[in-house]
Amino acid sequence: MTDMKRRPLVLANWKMNMTPSQVLPYLDQVIPEVEKDTGADVAIAAQDLYLAQMVKATTNTRLAIAAENAHWTDEGAYTGETSPKALAEIGVSYVLIGHFERRKLFNETDGRVNLKTKAALKNGLKVIVDLDEDMSTYDTVNPNTVVLAQLRAALAGISAEELDQVAIAYEPTWAIGSGEAASATAAQKAAVLIRQSLKNLYSSGVAEKIRILYGGSVTTKNAAAFLSQNDIDGVLVGKAALDPKQFLELIDIAQATH
């Protein structure tokens, strides 16, 4: 439980999964259940080619749609990229920026993460900034002096007011897709470092409002342990969220633990 009762966010990241024929049947199962409850925010991130279809199917529902990436400019000669302006125009709500797979497989730098975050915010998108920084390097450091390097870079030039539209997701690189999640204690320790870094960069008031998500092999078996931690306000779910029944169970868990 959190002092400010930050509303939990359960975010499915389909990655490059699902086929066109699977999208609407999945949503048909999820939307009615999401509509019954108001205890958590729920979103699904999908491939670009599904987004317009998904936004249309979820209009006037509680289920939000997210993009998995966006470019740092609104338009131009960037073949294969996706405009944040276009995403906003079709009704996408969230965008993931700086996911570990983008950093590792597509050489996304901290500087690019910052540019993309600014562009998304400028277009009215809510941003989930992903961090995979090694928190173990701060074991012997006074938390009151810590500012995580990836966090500082991602938020450079972003105002406290703009941070109202930002959430932070922590995904230890070794846990993503491995089937082995971090312990809830380790995840909470990382979340504390993230929140303390936000305090050091901005203020306590700003830091206490920001949602921090854990991602990396989240399942229906371990989600409650993560979500019951004081500084973890949601989960970013990959493989488990490909099954609508498991995704709905994760949403129930989030509502029960906050």
pLDDT at position 34 is: 95
- Could you identify the residue written with the tokens 């936000």? 198
Residue type, 22: Q
Whole-structure pTM value: 0.94
Q: Which of 99, 108, 133, 258 is catalytic?
A: 99
Number of helical H runs and strand E runs in the chain: 10, 8
pLDDT values of the chain reduced to their tens digit, one per residue, 258 residues: 344 579 999 999 999 999 999 999 999 999 999 998 778 999 999 999 999 999 999 999 999 999 999 999 999 999 999 999 999 999 999 999 999 999 999 999 999 999 999 999 999 999 999 999 888 788 777 878 889 999 999 999 999 999 999 999 999 876 665 566 678 998 999 999 999 999 999 999 999 999 999 999 899 999 999 999 999 999 999 999 999 999 999 999 999 887
- Give the integer Cα–Cα distance in Å for 128 and 68: 10
Q: Which of 68, 101, 108, 171 is catalytic?
A: 171
Is 99 considered catalytic here?
Answer: yes
Residue type, 137: T
Is 258 considered catalytic here?
Answer: no
Q: Reduce the DSSP state of residue 96 to 3 states and report it.
A: strand
- Could you identify the residue written with the tokens 């500012």? 147
pLDDT at position 45 is: 98
| Number of neighbouring beta carbons within 10 Å of residue 240 | 19
pLDDT at position 172 is: 85
